[in-house]
């Protein structure tokens, strides 16, 4: 098990594209412990994304995490794939009105 990891070269562009589509995105990449790279959500729903390049493979620890995690998780290789999965499994993002931000 690795305790810190590098991010894949497509990590930032995938996270940025999901944010542009108004999904909440939290990078978990530096967490280590074979945890997935991104937590993506909207409303009360969340997905875990493991970012891989086109030819990237899951480590044994990541395979074990995926086997044991009971929530939705996906291996994502492109921003298009990430957006397609998010739009299929998450409700349409709606930014809440800010109750303390009124003018």
The CA distance from 60 to 84, in Å, is 27
Q: Are 92 and 48 in contact (CB under 8 A)?
A: no
What is residue 37's DSSP assignment?
S
Radius of gyration over every alpha carbon of the chain, rounded to an integer in angstroms: 15
pLDDT in 10s for each residue of the chain, 103 residues: 444 567 899 999 999 999 999 999 999 999 989 999 999 999 899 999 999 999 999 999 999 999 999 999 999 999 999 999 999 999 988 766 666 655 5
Give the domain extent around 58: 11-89
In a domain, 15, yes or no: yes
In a domain, 99, yes or no: no
pTM, entire model:
0.86
In a domain, 5, yes or no: no
């Amino acid at each position: 098990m690795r305790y810190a990891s590098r991010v894949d070269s497509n990590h930032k562009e995938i996270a940025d594209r999901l944010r542009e589509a108004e999904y909440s995105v939290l990078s978990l990449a530096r967490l280590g412990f074979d945890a997935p790279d991104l937590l993506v959500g909207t409303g009360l729903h969340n997905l875990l994304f493991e970012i891989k390049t086109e030819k990237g493979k899951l480590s044994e620890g990541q395979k074990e995490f995926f086997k044991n995690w009971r929530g939705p998780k996906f291996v994502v290789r492109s921003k298009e794939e990430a957006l397609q999965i998010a739009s299929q499994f998450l409700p349409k993002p709606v930014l809440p009105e800010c109750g303390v931000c009124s003018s």
